Structure 1
Amino acid sequence: MEWTRQSGDEVEAAVGMLLCSQFPNAVRVRPSQGDGGIDIFVPGEAGWGKERAVWQVKKYSKNLTSSQKRKIERSFKRVVEASEAEGWRITEWHLIMPLDLTTQNLGWLDTYLGEREFSCETHGLLLCDTLAADYPNVIDYYMRDGKERLQANLDKLTSVLSGRKNRKSGEPLVAADVYGDLASIYNALNACDPFYKYWYEVADEPPAAEKMMGEENLVAAHALCQDGVWITVKVLARMLAAYTERPTTWNLRFAIPKSDEELLKQFEKFVDYGAPVSMPAGTVTGSLNLPGGLGGDLDRASIEVIAAPRDSQSDDDLLLIGIIAPDSDAVLASTRMRRTEFSSGEVGNRTVLADEASLFTIEMLFRDGDVAGSVDCTMHLGVSFQLRNRRPAEVADGLNVLAEFHTPNRLAFGNAYGPPDYGIFGPIPTQPNDDRDMWAPICRALALIQEHTTFQIRMPAEMERDEALGILDAAKLLSGEPTTGTASGQSTITHTAATRITPQLERISDFLVIRDLGISLGGEEITIGKKLSIYRGQYVEIGEQQSKIEVSGNAITLRYTGDLEVGRTFARYVDAEGASSEVQ
Structure 2
Amino acid sequence: MSGDEVEEVVAIMMCLKHPDCMRVRPSVGDGGIDLLLRLLDGSYHVFQIKRFTETLKAKQKTQVSKSLARLVAYAKSRNLRVSAWTLVMPLDPTKENFFDWLQGLPAPSDVTPTWRGLNFVDGLAAEYPTVIDYYLHGGRDRVDLAAAELTKLLRLHTTSDAGCHPLEASDAADTLRALANRINAQDPHYRYDLMVTHDSVAPASVDPNRMVVFWQEQFSHSWVTIVVRARFDDAPAVRPVPLSVTITVEPGSELERQLREFHDYGGELVLPGANADITMHLPGGLTPEGGTTEAVRIRSTYTPAPFPSEIEIVVVSPDGTELGSTVAEVTSSTTGVSGRGGRYYGTEANGMFDITLQINRETSEFRFALKSRDLDGLQPQKLRAGAEMLAHLGAPNVLLLRNPHGGQVVAQTPITVPLADSPGLLLDVIEALLVIQRAAGRPIRMPALDHFHIVKPWLDAAHLLRVGELTVRWDCVRCAPEDWLGQAIAEAEGDEVGPLGLLVPLEVEIGGLSIALGDMHYAVPSARVVRRPGEDSDNYVVVPAGDPVATVTLHTSAPAPEQP
Match of residue 345 from structure 2: 353
Match of residue 302 from structure 1: 294
Deviations 1:5-41 (A, max 9, x none): x544334333333343344454322234658233334
1:531 is the counterpart of 2:518: yes
Q: Specify which of 306, 311, 314 is matched with residue 321 of structure 1.
A: 311
Cα separation, 2, equivalents of 1:155 and 1:540: 87
Q: Aligned letter for 1:393?
A: Q
Q: Specify which of 101, 104, 119 is matched with residue 108 of structure 1.
A: 104
Q: Specify which of 95, 105, 111 is matched with residue 86 of structure 2.
A: 95
Query: Is the alpha carbon distance of 1:42 and 1:439 closer, same or farther for their aligned partners in structure 2, counting shifts above 3 Å?
Result: farther
Q: Aligned letter for 1:182?
A: L
1:429 is the counterpart of 2:398: no
| Partner SS state of residue 21, structure 1 | helix
1:392 is the counterpart of 2:384: no
Q: Offset at 1:186?
A: 0.7
Match of residue 16 from structure 1: 11
Q: Specify which of 180, 187, 193 is matched with residue 199 of structure 1.
A: 193
Q: Aligned letter for 1:469?
A: K
Query: Is the alpha carbon distance of 1:224 and 1:196 closer, same or farther for their aligned partners in structure 2, counting shifts above 3 Å?
Result: same
Tell me how many residue pairs correspond in the alignment. Answer: 505
Cα separation, 2, equivalents of 1:129 and 1:229: 45
Query: Is the alpha carbon distance of 1:79 and 1:359 closer, same or farther for their aligned partners in structure 2, counting shifts above 3 Å?
Result: same
CA contact (8 A) 2:331 2:345 kept: yes
Query: Is the alpha carbon distance of 1:67 and 1:450 closer, same or farther for their aligned partners in structure 2, counting shifts above 3 Å?
Result: farther
Cα separation, 2, equivalents of 1:549 and 1:274: 64
Q: Aligned letter for 1:186?
A: A
CA contact (8 A) 1:53 1:90 kept: yes
CA contact (8 A) 2:143 2:186 kept: no
CA contact (8 A) 1:539 1:547 kept: no
| Partner SS state of residue 559, structure 2 | strand
1:455-474 residue pairs with structure 2 within 5 A? 459-460=447-448, 462-464=450-452, 466-474=453-461
| Partner SS state of residue 130, structure 2 | helix
Match of residue 57 from structure 1: 48
1:494 is the counterpart of 2:479: no
Cα separation, 2, equivalents of 1:422 and 1:214: 40
1:340-379 residue pairs with structure 2 within 5 A? 341-346=333-338, 348-355=340-347, 357=351, 359-366=353-360, 369=362, 376-379=364-367
Query: Is the alpha carbon distance of 1:70 and 1:347 closer, same or farther for their aligned partners in structure 2, counting shifts above 3 Å?
Result: closer
| Percent identical residues | 21
Q: Aligned letter for 1:345?
A: V
Cα separation, 1, equivalents of 2:292 and 2:469: 68
Match of residue 557 from structure 1: 554
| Partner SS state of residue 9, structure 2 | helix
CA contact (8 A) 1:393 1:447 kept: no
CA contact (8 A) 1:249 1:290 kept: yes
Q: Offset at 1:436?
A: 7.3
CA contact (8 A) 2:314 2:389 kept: no
| Partner SS state of residue 301, structure 1 | coil
Cα separation, 2, equivalents of 1:29 and 1:358: 43
CA contact (8 A) 1:319 1:413 kept: no
Q: Specify which of 62, 74, 77 is matched with residue 79 of structure 1.
A: 74
Q: Specify which of 245, 250, 272 is matched with residue 238 of structure 2.
A: 245
Deviations 1:249-304 (A, max 9, x none): 23444444689x43333333334444322223444345322222332564562332
Cα separation, 2, equivalents of 1:315 and 1:274: 16
| Partner SS state of residue 343, structure 2 | strand
Match of residue 135 from structure 1: 128
Cα separation, 1, equivalents of 2:558 and 2:294: 74
Match of residue 178 from structure 2: 184
Q: Aligned letter for 1:278?
A: V
Q: Offset at 1:329?
A: 8.0
Deviations 1:417-455 (A, max 9, x none): xxx555532224334542676435435655786796889
Q: Offset at 1:188?
A: 1.5
Cα separation, 2, equivalents of 1:200 and 1:547: 69
Match of residue 292 from structure 1: 284
Cα separation, 1, equivalents of 2:169 and 2:528: 82
Q: Aligned letter for 1:218?
A: M
Query: Is the alpha carbon distance of 1:188 and 1:411 closer, same or farther for their aligned partners in structure 2, counting shifts above 3 Å?
Result: same
1:408 is the counterpart of 2:398: yes
The unaligned stretches of length 5 or more in structure 1 are: 1-5, 163-171, 370-374, 415-419, 498-504, 561-567, 574-584
Cα separation, 1, equivalents of 2:524 and 2:146: 98
TM-score by length of 1: 0.67
Q: Aligned letter for 1:301?
A: T
CA contact (8 A) 1:476 1:482 kept: yes
CA contact (8 A) 1:334 1:401 kept: no
Query: Is the alpha carbon distance of 1:237 and 1:269 closer, same or farther for their aligned partners in structure 2, counting shifts above 3 Å?
Result: farther
Query: Is the alpha carbon distance of 1:229 and 1:292 closer, same or farther for their aligned partners in structure 2, counting shifts above 3 Å?
Result: same
Cα separation, 2, equivalents of 1:175 and 1:32: 49
Cα separation, 2, equivalents of 1:128 and 1:37: 16
Cα separation, 2, equivalents of 1:351 and 1:43: 31
Q: Offset at 1:364?
A: 2.0
Q: Offset at 1:71?
A: 1.6
Match of residue 159 from structure 2: none
Match of residue 502 from structure 1: none
Cα separation, 2, equivalents of 1:436 and 1:298: 52
Query: Is the alpha carbon distance of 1:156 and 1:519 closer, same or farther for their aligned partners in structure 2, counting shifts above 3 Å?
Result: closer
Cα separation, 1, equivalents of 2:85 and 2:283: 32
Cα separation, 2, equivalents of 1:269 and 1:378: 12
Match of residue 259 from structure 2: 267
CA contact (8 A) 1:221 1:234 kept: yes
Deviations 1:17-71 (A, max 9, x none): 334334445432223465823333456789xxxx663524231565585524532
Match of residue 537 from structure 2: none
| Partner SS state of residue 12, structure 2 | helix
Cα separation, 1, equivalents of 2:251 and 2:102: 70
CA contact (8 A) 2:86 2:113 kept: yes
Cα separation, 1, equivalents of 2:264 and 2:212: 22
Cα separation, 1, equivalents of 2:173 and 2:425: 56
| Partner SS state of residue 398, structure 2 | coil
Match of residue 147 from structure 1: 138
1:516 is the counterpart of 2:503: no
TM-score by length of 2: 0.69
